[in-house]
Structure 1
Amino acid sequence: MRSATQTAIKTQRSFAIVSTPDRDQQTRTLSAELDVVGAFSDAVAAGRDVERALEEVLARCLYHADIERAAICVRATWRAGDPSSGFLVLASRGFANVPQALTTLAADREALRRASDDRTTVTTSADVMLIPLVSVDEVIGVLMLDTPRRAHWNGLVQGIARQVSAALALARRFERVEASERRAKTLMEHADEAIVVVSMDGTILETNRAAERLLGASTPGLVGRPYADFVRDLPTSGSMVALLSAVDGASAGTMQVTRPNGSTATVECTVGLVDVGDDCAYVTFLRDVSERNALAERLKGAQKLEAIGRLSGGVAHDFNNLLSVVISYADLLLADFADNEEVRLDLMEIRKAGTRAADLAKQILIFGRDEAPDRQFISLNDVVGSVDKLLRRLIGADIELTTSAAPDLGSVHADATHIHQVLMNLVVNARDAMPDGGRLRISTGNIDVMPGHEDPEIGLPAGRYVRLTVVDSGTGMDAATIAKIYQPFFTTKSPDRGTGLGLATVKAIVEQAGGKIRVTSQPGKGARFHVYLPRVDVPSVRRRNSSTMPAAVSGGHETVLVVEDEPQVRELLVDILDRAGYNVVEAANGGEALLIAEEERGPIHLLLSDLVMPRLNGDKLADRLRAMRPEMKVLFMSGYVDGRLPWRERISEGGRILPKPVTPAALVARVREALGPELRQQGGVS
């Protein structure tokens, strides 16, 4: 757009070559054009939009040209327009309304075609002048106005048309920029990633909604604040520019976001450099990877647990075979040296160590989920009550124990032995956290978790639960320790006091029963463990105490086929059963057992077989032997029970299972039980 000074200089030059009357007219024309241009410039400078600025232009045009009507019309392609005429009205004066202006424009189609296509100023049959508005060799519209009453004003309206064309071109570029900014703003606002625009000195200039959620503050509370107030692991604001400059368009790595409420999140940051007016700024894209990292850690932990579980099952199986030999021979020697107290004391220590090792193997099996639970409907009140005296002896006199059993407590469907293990492990853990004494509280209760109040941290869904709570006043734990307490073999205790399997076993048992466990603790403020187990509306049953064997168990004279692939265990089993009076036939594997069954003339009353053996498992062996000897009873043994083996179905078909490590008393009792009283009456006659 020509400036007023440039126009004035051109006017002075023109005066030198025109006559005085023409000069006066030209002066008035140029003065009017400057007035029109000035009105447009003043309107734009005042912040009015293009349409309002053009309205000012038309008002001055009507005044100076002494006409009554004028309109500025643009093609529909310039902006979404009226499809009937292909034009829309940006500004008008003197017309009753916009439709009237469009009707006037479309009245003489030939004149409109010439003005828009041939770029020719034409006068319509209705004495309306159409002046093409041209921008960059493109007709973008027409200036429509009544034909001026004085012909010398035609030059004025031509000049106005040029200024309007320039203004429209500028307006179109401006609107495109605005539209682009709106699209960018919309994309920014609806982006999943947090976007923060940061000045060169590290001050937050702009944020989107995702950034508000991530940083925990609204945009007004973020703008103007130092970026380093929220995003940690950054250098100080003075050196942050160097960091951001070094990673323009690339990842700045993993950082820590700290919200005003103190909570944190781990984010990945990508940085880009953008122009902001006359300066530059950094656009940082923050992706919250806290959940992704947590999932990765859980997956890593699950894979580790799976690997350890597979290993633990095999190790515990072999371990229990060895312990069967240690414990059972200790029992046999205790019987042989009944009158030698000195030897008996040594043997008792051997047996005690073997029993402790067996307990450890059982924890490994539970942790590895290779011991199938014997679920019943039980009451946690019964569990707590049954071990109350034992717990008081376990924790010592310097720890005050209180228990609180909720009335009308619901039942849970779980293995009572496993739940005993959970309680014992939690109590031992609490005891060790109070070396100088303290307070220990055990309580039970019914808990209903309503929809909307789930606990996503431990994955506790809405539902009905029975809760077991163990609270101590011990040393407590920090967040870093809490994050690791369920990891197998992690312990804060000395090697002689902890194996690192206690809480790992607790978590495995609880989750195996369909429950969840939560811990809250702070250093110096004790710890609180909540165990949530699904509640069922079924009366609980009291289990009989089966941990003690009869003082004396009678043997028999029946024939027992012992199948065990471990030589030491097989020799032990044969020795025990032979001492009990049984006729024992042994085999090292399933193939040998089948040959013996084919060659043995007399009856084989009982198959005593390891459940897991190379080539031919005990359950498959039992199937083939039953086909040959339908009257034969079956008793399985195993150091672990893999959930994939159909051992429960085998029991229902007449088989039983004896867990390892075995003791002489347990073996003789279970063999006698498997053979049944009717065979005892027959005296084992073959």
Structure 2
Amino acid sequence: MFKRLEVKIIVSLALILTAMIAVYGRWTGSRQQTIYVQALTDNLRVLAHSLADNAAGFIVIKEYAGLEAHMMNAAQMPDVVTIQVIEPTGNLLCNVVRPSRDTSPRLVYDSRTVTVPTSPKPVLKRSGDQLVCWAPITAGTHLGWVRMALSLETADQLQQATWHSSLQIGALWIVVGTLLMFVVVRRPLRAVRELSLFAQDLQDRKGAQVSVRRGVYEIDLLADALNHSSTELRDAEQRLMAEQERLTVTLQSIGDGVIATDTDNRIVLLNHVAEVLTGWSEAEALWQPLDEVLKLNGNKEVSEVMAELHHVIEARQALELHGQHRLQARSGAERTVTVNSAPIINSSGELAGMVLVIHDVTEKAKMEAEKQGLAQQLIQSQKMEAVGQLAGGVAHDFNNMLGVIIGHAELGMLTAEPTSQMHDRLKEILDAAKRSAEITKQLLAFSRQQHAEPKVLDLNETIARMLKMLHRLIGEDIDLSWSPGFDLWKVKLDPSQLDQVMANLCVNARDAIAGVGTIQIFTENVTLDLHAHPCMADLAPGDYVMLVVADNGRGMTREVMDRIFEPFYTTKELGRGTGLGLATVFGIVKQNCGSIEVVSEPDQGATFRVYLPAVHEAAQEAKPEGVRPEGGTERILLVEDEAAILAIGSTILTGLGYTVYPAASPEQAIDIAADPGKVIDLLLTDIIMPGMNGRDLSEQLLRSRPGLKCLFMSGYTSDVIAQRGKVEEYMCFLQKPFTMQTLAAKVREALASS
């Protein structure tokens, strides 16, 4: 029945009348409600400001009881829900509550504070079913707020009453109108019933030829036209579906993301790649603003990027966004992309929107970044290698000469009167030689060629013993704060290298502080995983001990931070730095399989974090150096191809009480050891010598003298010793140049070894 045209017309008319009456009733009710609410708003504004003026007087004289009584009296008015008097800080001075029109107002102080507006200006707004007014209390200054709320219940009741009246009148009109329409349209619609059945069949079967009863000229023409349209509609629909399928397959097959928008920058299409890049499905993104889905971050602000894209629509010109951008997906994941855009022009030449092609270059950008990083590392490595080759080339001869100078200066000081001018001059020579040896050691340290004797250390104990020395280095104006980490793991490190690291970091911090300042030193256990900071990417996952040296000095710029570990680079004035300090720290840390990072901003100080691999072994006790060299009566075979070193070594050892058999070559040493009448307790030999190295010499002598102790010495770099000397970590080693104290201590250590 409901499919018949006359029924549809009658029902439609009834519905139209119903809708019109409903709309009219709703409009009338809303209009009356609006007028009532407006009047209520005006009254509320006047009442609230009046109460604020009255409250000012009570607050000024601090008559809070009178204030409460005045507000209770005001709350008797119809529609009042709450009246609050609030201080600027949000503290409640008065809180009158009236739950309904039938109840009396009462004072309630369940909560003593409320949130107040930030600006001392009047505020009037609707909050749910209430009108709320914030009126500032002023008396020369801002004293607080009067918050007054009126109920809108009466306005709602007025609207409902108007609505019901309109419905009752409308129902009568609907009945009358329906009856009239039924009488008028019933007979004319009988003639087109068959045509309606035909149209219904045509809708269900496109392309069908439906015959209708002929005889009426207009109906015949309409039937023929509908038959023809049915065929055309079927063919057009098939062509459209095929074209749409081709377009869909093409868009989904493109390796780039494609987003199409309308002229208002609302999305109308996303292909699959764009869905993956943005994290939005096409159904979710449809009709969303472009900047809501396409989150681009780069050197420009998001608003600037969107303005450039909008220019594509305004200028009808294609645009390629300059450079690469970070595209943030809905999940927070970021990809590096390039974006091209072009206007969409339809067949009529009208602008239909814009299309964007998003090319994912994340892997390419990552490879480029890695390439640049490797290039920087290569340049730094080449610098290190060049300086290392220079240092290593002169280290042996230079250390030998320094050894001779140090030895003779110390021997001369032993014979000279301590108060004599000669003693002072010898002391200056000794100090200069030691400083030269330190510079050589630094050159070898940052090029990672320094010979090291790593020991298992407790950083807390070792640094604690260094504090007195560090205090002398930094001076009295700078406060040194030491915070040892709890239950700190051990590290394996040459103690002398730790001395160099701490001294250089503290001196660098001292020089960064102008006048009074603070240097903080602390240690901590850390465990690094695969997701550690990018600066720590060269460290294997595992346990590390972190040593931190921080200062509150002048800090560094990014340009300075990029170069601080370069050898000979310094920002200090002439004469205050060689540029080797931090390069030495870097080399020592890298030599010990660690890493170092620096965090700094101009005028914000600097923080150096050193990460050293943790070892879970017991720490080796430090052996304090004696005040005077300790000698003995043992017999020592001294082998050295440098005549000056051989002479000074023999003199020092003889002066310490030892019997010395000097040998200028390995062959001469073998001849001396072949004499069964000579007792030899220790072989003290240079490692790198013509014809035979010290390790091979010791192995040959041990075959005939199994109990012979060995002490190796060298001025060569660690890499040369490793290639030609074959000295293992457990062997006793003495680095040239050495002092009398160092030589005496090493000899005693070698003689005491098992």
Q: What is the TM-score normalised by the length of structure 2?
A: 0.55
Give 1:560's match in structure 2, choosing from 621, 624, 637: 637
Cα deviation 1:31-80 (Å, max 9, x = unaligned): xxxxxxxxxxxxxxxxxxxxxxxxxxxxxxx9769869979xxxxxxxxx
- Alpha carbons 2:599, 2:608 under 8 Å: kept: yes
Look up the SS of the partner of 2:570 in the other structure.
coil
Partner of 1:301: 380
How many pairs does the alignment contain? Answer: 516
From 223, 229, 242, the counterpart of 2:300:
229
User: What is the identity, as a one-letter code, of the residue corresponding to 1:662?
Assistant: F
Aligned with residue 161 of structure 1, among 222, 226, 231: 231
Secondary structure of the 1:477 match is: coil
Q: Verify: 1:181 aligned to 2:251, yes or no.
A: yes
Q: What is the correspondence of 1:281-680 to structure 2 with a 5 Å cutoff?
A: 285=359, 287=361, 289=365, 291-292=369-370, 293-302=372-381, 304-306=383-385, 308-309=387-388, 311-338=390-417, 341-444=420-523, 446-449=524-527, 454-459=532-537, 464-535=543-614, 538-546=617-625, 548=626, 550-551=628-629, 553-554=631-632, 558=635, 560-564=637-641, 566=642, 568-574=644-650, 576=652, 582-587=660-665, 590=666, 592-593=667-668, 596=671, 603=678, 605=680, 606-613=682-689, 616-627=692-703, 630=706, 632-639=708-715, 640-642=717-719, 644=722, 656-667=732-743, 670-671=746-747, 674=750
Hey, what's the Cα distance between the residues in 1 that align with 2:581 and 2:383? 17
The alignment partner of 2:257 has SS state of helix
Residue 582 of structure 1 aligns to a residue whose secondary structure is strand
Kindly, what percent of the aligned residue pairs are identical? Answer: 31
Structure 1 residues 225 and 352: alpha-carbon distance in aligned structure 2, compared to 1, 3 A threshold:
closer
- Any unmatched runs of 5+ in structure 2? 1-192, 264-268, 280-288, 313-317, 329-333
1:335/1:285 CA distance change after superposition, 3 Å: same
Q: Distance in 2 between matches of 1:677 and 1:167?
A: 98
Separation in 1, partners of 2:534, 2:298: 31
The 3-state SS of whatever aligns with 1:457 is helix
Q: Is the 8 A contact 2:298 2:325 kept in 1?
A: no
Structure 2 residue identity aligned to 1:276: I
Deviations 1:624-654 (A, max 9, x none): 34446556543211223338469787576xx
**2:749, 2:436 → 1: CA distance?**
27
Structure 1 residues 225-253: Cα deviation after superposition (integer angstroms, max 9, x where no partner)? 9997349999x979x99xxxxx999x97x
Aligned to 1:99: none
The one-letter code matched in structure 2 to 1:586 is A
Contact kept in structure 1, 2:734 and 2:746, CA below 8 Å: yes
CA contact (8 A) 1:367 1:508 kept: yes
- Give the C-alpha shift of residue 318 in structure 1: 3.9
Contact 2:518 2:551 in 1 (8 A): yes
Q: 1:669 to 1:540 in 2, by over 3 A?
A: closer
> 8 Å contact 2:554–2:602 — kept in the other structure?
yes
Letter matched to residue 439 of structure 1: T
- Report deviation, 1:385: 1.9
Rounded to whole Å, the distance in 2 between the matches of 1:226 and 1:353 is 58
**Counterpart AA for 2:247:** V
| Counterpart residue type for residue 365 of structure 1 | L
Q: Are the aligned partners of 1:418 and 1:509 in contact in 2 as well (CA < 8 Å)?
A: yes
Distance 1:456 1:517 in 2: 12
Q: Please give the alpha-carbon distance, in whole angstroms, between the structure 1 residues aligned to 2:541 and 2:661.
A: 59
SS of alignment partner, residue 365 of structure 1: helix
CA separation in 2, counterparts of 1:650 and 1:526? Answer: 42
**Alignment check: 8 A CA contact 1:449 1:461 kept:** no
Contact 1:196–1:284, Cα closer than 8 Å, also in 2 = no
Name the residue aligned to 2:85.
none
Q: Alpha carbons of 1:437 and 1:209: their partners in 2 closer, same or farther (altered >3 Å)?
A: farther
**Is contact 2:638-2:650 (8 Å) kept?**
no
Note the C-alpha offset of 1:219.
5.1
Describe the shift of the 1:672–1:180 C-alpha distance in structure 2 as closer, same or farther (beyond 3 A). closer
- Give the CA deviation at 1:416: 3.0
Q: Name the aligned partner's letter for residue 347 of structure 1.
A: L
Indicate how the Cα distance of structure 1 residues 664 and 516 shifts in structure 2: closer, same or farther if over 3 A, else same.
closer
- Secondary structure of the structure 2 residue equivalent to 1:400: strand
Partner residue of 2:344 out of 252, 271, 276: 276
Cα deviation 1:109-143 (Å, max 9, x = unaligned): xxxxxxxxxxxxxxxxxxxxxxxxxxxxxxxxx95
| 1:515/1:69 CA distance change after superposition, 3 Å | same
C-alpha change, 1:612 and 1:145, in structure 2 (3 Å) is farther
Task: Describe the superposition over 1:334-387 as per-residue Cα deviations: whole angstroms up to 9, x where unpaired.
Answer: 335447822221221111011112222223333233345434343222123212
Partner of residue 33, structure 2: none
Give distance in 2, aligned partners of 1:429 and 1:542.
29
Alpha-carbon displacement from aligned partner over 1:556-588 (angstroms, at most 9, x marks no partner): 6x4625133x4543454455456665232212x
CA distance in 1: counterparts of 2:708 and 2:747, whole angstroms: 13
Specify the SS of the correspondent of 1:496. Answer: coil
Unaligned stretches of 5+ residues in structure 1 = 1-61, 72-90, 94-141, 190-194, 200-204, 242-246, 260-264, 679-686
- Find the aligned partners of 1:595 and 1:537 in 2 and give their Cα distance: 43
Deviation at 1:526, TM superposition (A): 1.8
More moved, 402-411 vs 479-488: 402-411
Query: 282, 291, 299: which is aligned to 1:220?
Result: 291
Partner-residue secondary structure (3-state), 1:430: helix
CA drift of 1:431 comes to 1.0
Change (3 A) 1:625 1:426: same
Tell me the amino acid that sits aligned with residue 344 of structure 2: V
Q: Displacement, 1:455?
A: 3.0
Aligned to 1:97: none
Question: How many angstroms does 1:543 deviate by?
Answer: 0.9
Structure 1 position 522, deviation (Å): 1.9
Contact preservation (8 Å) 1:516, 1:531: yes
Contact 2:638 2:660 in 1 (8 A): no
Contact 1:433 1:475 in 2 (8 A): yes
What does 1:4-23 align with in structure 2 at a 5 Å threshold? none
- Paired residues of 2:296 and 2:302 also in contact (CA < 8 A): no
Distance 2:729 2:632 in 1: 23
Comparing 278-287 and 601-610, the one that deviates more: 278-287
Paired letter, 1:521: S
8 A Cα contact 2:257 2:359, kept in partner: no
Letter in 1 for 2:736: K
Preserved contact between residue 232 and residue 255 of structure 1 (Cα < 8 Å): no
Change in CA separation of 1:463 and 1:630 when aligned onto 2, cut-off 3 Å? closer
Give the counterpart letter for 1:583 in structure 2: Y
The answer to whether the 8 A contact 1:196-1:208 is kept is no
In 2, are the aligned partners of 1:231 and 1:257 still within 8 Å (CA)? no
DSSP-derived class of the 2:621 partner: coil
Instruction: Work out whether residues 562 and 573 of structure 1, in 8 Å CA contact, stay in contact via their aligned partners in 2.
Output: no
